[in-house]
Structure 1
């Protein structure tokens, strides 16, 4: 039985940050990677990062922010290839949503490549709706869906 834990990043843990930066570089094309800005992103008071440990190995992470009191954002969600399809991305997404919810935002937004069908389906499963297609979001020939999840105001 795998030992799985979602952990909030301790910003002083340089080894963990470096491991996540390596994962970022491997998973995302250079022009989409936050690797060179990762430390700057983590210094912001309105952002956070959760990562998932599976048997002592970092298998994935979710980065989130709340740029204003109106909305939060899932800025990154990544799972190492060998750990995909096992529910780790879903667990990270749910944890990221909950972190944004605790900030009392009324909406969470994210961007996703329409060709990443498993990711689009995961977001839809958790209530995200497609707002619009943003042409050239990732590069001149790669678009993105802007998706959102609204919370009840009650």
Structure 2
């Protein structure tokens, strides 16, 4: 794995506008609104205009954790990843733990963790409520894929609710293909569609 993190920083222009030791895997669909439009990928870089603000994707640091834990609690309440989980992730998977910042403010994160062999999984991708609808989820997903490629993973996997059409569309646009649906993947009645792409 590469230890050079500074080379992964990316700057874009976009329109401004979980406390237990065990955790469930959750994915991008957790932030999808009931209206059917994915709040992570709503909006577009092409819509950037006079209110443009700098957006940076970089490896996470301990100074980001309080903010990420706050976003988790906002969106997932009792199922939220805790600060403890994020500190563990920072120690165990530093190169796969990215944050996205909008105007220098932490706006969300992605976490890619190893599977067996040369495979990895996109364990989580989240954009905070106040930053949704700006296209940041799409930018972060693209950078998570790029980071996984740089870490020399050959395949990236994720799971998503079979009913979450907007998130599935986002993943397909990023090159993921549906593999199979696993019943009770995250517990009773929590089925998930498994998707993968080669890197």
Alignment TM-score > 0.5, same fold: yes
What does residue 26 of structure 1 align with? 74
Distance 1:46-1:109 versus aligned 2 partners, 3 A rule: farther
Give the match's secondary structure for 2:121.
Answer: strand
Note if 1:54 corresponds to 2:105.
no
Distance in 2 (alpha carbons) for counterparts of 1:76 and 1:39: 15
Distance 1:135-1:43 versus aligned 2 partners, 3 A rule: same
Distance 1:149-1:135 versus aligned 2 partners, 3 A rule: same
TM-score normalized by the length of structure 1: 0.84
Runs of 4+ in 1 over 3 A off after TM superposition: none
* Higher mean C-alpha displacement, 33-42 vs 68-77: 33-42
Distance 1:64-1:45 versus aligned 2 partners, 3 A rule: closer
Contact 2:71 2:129 in 1 (8 A): no
Q: CA deviation at 1:84?
A: 2.3
1:15-38 deviation digits (Å, cap 9, x = unpaired): 31111112122223534x332522
* Higher mean C-alpha displacement, 33-42 vs 90-99: 33-42
Distance 1:138-1:67 versus aligned 2 partners, 3 A rule: closer
Q: Which is greater in Rg?
A: 2
Where do 5+ consecutive residues of structure 2 fail to align?
A: 1-51
Where do 5+ consecutive residues of structure 1 fail to align?
A: none
TM-score normalized by the length of structure 2: 0.66
* Higher RCO structure, 1 or 2 (CA under 8 Å, sep 6+): 2
Number of residue pairs matched by the alignment: 147
* Higher mean C-alpha displacement, 36-45 vs 137-146: 36-45
What's the C-alpha RMSD, in Å, of the aligned pairs? Answer: 2.0
What does residue 37 of structure 1 align with? 85
Q: CA deviation at 1:104?
A: 1.7
Note if 1:63 corresponds to 2:114.
no
